[in-house]
Structures are given as structure tokens and as C-alpha cells.
Amino acid sequence: MDYDEPDGKTVELALTKIPATGESIGAVFLNPGGPGGSAFDYAKAADIVVSPAIRESFDIVGVDPRGVGKSEPVRCLSDAEIDAIFAADGTPDTVEEGREIVEDSSYVAEACEVNASELWKYMDTVSVARDMDIARAALGEPVLNYIGKSYGTALGATYAELFPETVGRMVLDGVLPTHFSQEEVTFGQAVAFESAFEHFAQECAASGSCPFDGDAADVATQLRAFLADLDTEPLPTADGRELTESLGNYAVISFLYFPDGDYPRLRDALKQAVDNRDGTALLALVDERTSRSVDGRYLDNSTDSFYAVSCADRPFDGDEARVMQLVDDWQMEAPTFGEALAWGLLVCADWPAASTGSDSPTRAAGAPPILVVSTTGDSATPHSWGLALAQSLEDGHLVTWDAVNHTAYREGSTCVDDAVDAYLLAGKVPPSDLVCD
């Protein structure tokens, strides 16, 4: 559990291996991101997650990170407490409301201290990367072949920095920098989500079924106003909960990831809310992305583990005054979500479990070529982050997908899929700075 005390308590990990459909040439480990996503379940969906060629040639391995999914999951919060956190006002209008956010922000760590096992203090990414090397060795794999998406790229990059000599073929898709502060990551995402929000507004205006009138700029203005109005006039829903401003923001921001599937559903849910003054459909989108069942139970511990990992890796060293300054600074570039995301930083303030990660860019000196994949219009992991990682790696190679989407492999680009498969199967790196349409 604590790598500073290797003879102390241990952690049991859940691992699954899906055999190759043909003759196996080795194993590929997967991680879907989060943090808090289940790699075990992700591997079970291998037929969708990777191409038929990769399924034929590789065993697919998923290891739930410590404290996540099936690997001794930590639970800090009750279902009712998670409901309350998601619904709470995240954009204070008065000094009193600001004080309430400050007081409430310390609750997650306090709840972990009281309710969770001791493991919650040891869920940092450096520890998870060390676990991955033990899993690799336990399976008898000489190297770690790996596909990591979103947060999974931070895990992969950390592994490559710690164990460059056992890196095999590593694909890092949708880069989350390992050395950025919580403030830097949050601002980068606020700006990227703003761009995706404007893209959604453009698509909505052109759809013929948008609940708001006018062109893209008009739609964006009206949608921001709709969300802001939920602060004083939350919408009723079928199960008795209210759609608050925070829940409305969450519904929108969490359906800006995958335009082909997300945009039509978000547009329809917004139409029901605007036309019928009914927040049921928007709240259902939130429930879907947070694994909340219709009976009010959260079916996994992704919320608890998201905080446990994120705040350990990147504790916020600011206070209320710093947040108020950031709200002003971010307003121009991220008017839709910047304020709420800035106030959200306080959850990680004075976090009691600190990571041992590096504050320097990843080099992975001595590792073989590593393939970085990045999307120009990624709402959660900006393209600039992927470009920077490819440049900082001693032997990094970048594939860019010119599209709006979170991550790229197996998301609709044959060009990207072919480049990733050629690298995994034969170690062939793509031409310098390959750009796929």
C-alpha cells in the first residue's frame, strides 16, 4: 500500500485478461481514464475499444487501479452526499454563499478520513504506476504494451518515467500532463470546454431543432442565460430532485466530449427543459455520466476515486482569495464554465495525501518510441498538451486528429486507427507530425 514501507500493508488488485482471437504476440494493458474509470470493465469491451487486428494479435489486459472499481474500492461519500455535492451551488453570488463553498469544499477529505479505508491516502498515480509494473511482471510480460486515454495517459507517462527499460509499445491518447498544477490543468480545460461549448452552439443553431433561436452566438448567449437562471429557478424533475445550476452545467459540460453521440442527446434534453420547464432529461444525462441508477444508488466509486487521485496528484495550494482572482482572470476566455471550475479547485486545497510525482515534463529517457495521439478540438485534454508531451519525450511521435472529439483512437478516423495499429503491431512510427482529417 505504501511503497515507502514495502514490508507493510498490501493491496489486492482486480485484473482481467482477454485472450487474443488469434496467435498472441503479447499483452496490451488498457486504461480508460477518469481518474476513476475501470480498466477491468474497459478491457471486457475490447471488441469495441481496439481494432480487430489488435484483438487478433494481443491479449487485452485491464487492471483496476488501487482503490478503483474492483480493486478494493474506496467509498468516502454516501449516495445522498454525492447527490448533494453535485447539486450544490458552485457559483456564489454573495459573501455568505462563498463561505458555504469554502466550508463544503473540505467535506470530501473529511469524509474519506472518517468513512474510507486507509488506502484512500495512497491512490496517487506514482503508486498506481508501480502497481502496473508488478502486474506486468506477474503476468510474465517482459515489457508493458499500453493504450491509455485521458487520465490513462498520465498513468502511462508516469510509468515510462519510472520504468523506461520495460516500456514496450505505448499509446497515449488525449494527453493529461503529469507536471501541471491543479490550477493549470483546470484553466486549460475551462478554455477547451469553452471552445467545445461554442462548437455545440454552432451545431445546435444549424440543426433545425435547437431550443434557442438565432445563429451560434445567439444560441451560446441564450444557453448561458438558461443555465444561470437555474440558480434562482431550478427545474423540477420526475423523481423529485431539482435541476440546479450546477447540475445543468454538469449535464452540458459532460456531453461535450463526443459530438456524434452527445450533441443530439444534449440538444433534445435542453429542448425538453426549455419548452416544458422540465429538467428530467438533463438530469438523466448527469446520472448517466456519474453512474447513478434510477433508484438513487451510485453503481461505482468513480466520484470518490476521482477526488482521491486528482487531489493527491495535484493539491491546490490556493485559498478563497486566490479563487476569486482566478474567477476574474478566467472570465474572458472561459465565460461559461470558468467560474464554477475555479471554485471547484477548493476541494483539493490542503489535501492531506500528497503525491510523489515530478513537477518536470516527462522525458522517459531510454524508453523506445512512444506514440502520442491528440485531437485538435478535444474538450477535456487540449491539443497543446499532446504536442508538448510529444516534444518533451526523448523519443515521442505525434499523431494529430483534426476534429472535435475527446481522444482519437477508435473514434471514427481510419487514418488514426491505421497509424496506431501499425505502431502496436510492428513498431512502425508514423511520418513526422502526422495529421489525420
Catalytic residue set: 150, 378, 406
Q: Calculate helix-pair angle for 107-115, 79-87, nearest 10 degrees.
A: 170
d(CA 406, CA 411): 9
Question: What are the E-state strand segments in 161-244?
Answer: 167-173, 235-236, 242-243
All three cell numbers of 276: 416544458
Which of 238, 200, 223 has its CA nearest to residue 335?
223
- Beta partners for 374? 400
Helix (H) or strand (E) run with residue 373 in it: strand 370-375
* CB distance 337 to 253 below 8 Å: yes
The β-bridge relationship of strands 434-436 and 396-401 is: parallel
Which of 243, 256, 223, 200 has its CA nearest to residue 336?
223
DSSP 253-290: HTTSS-HHHHHHHHHHHHHHHHHH---HHHHHHHHHHT
d(CA 395, CA 272): 50
Q: How far is CA 265 from CA 255, 260, 360, in A?
A: 8, 10, 40
Q: Which residues, 6 or more positions from 392, have their beta carbon under 8 angstroms from its beta carbon?
A: 361, 362, 363
What sections of 291-397 are H helices per DSSP? 302-313, 320-330, 338-344, 383-392
Phi/psi at 44 (nearest 5 deg)?
Answer: -65, -20
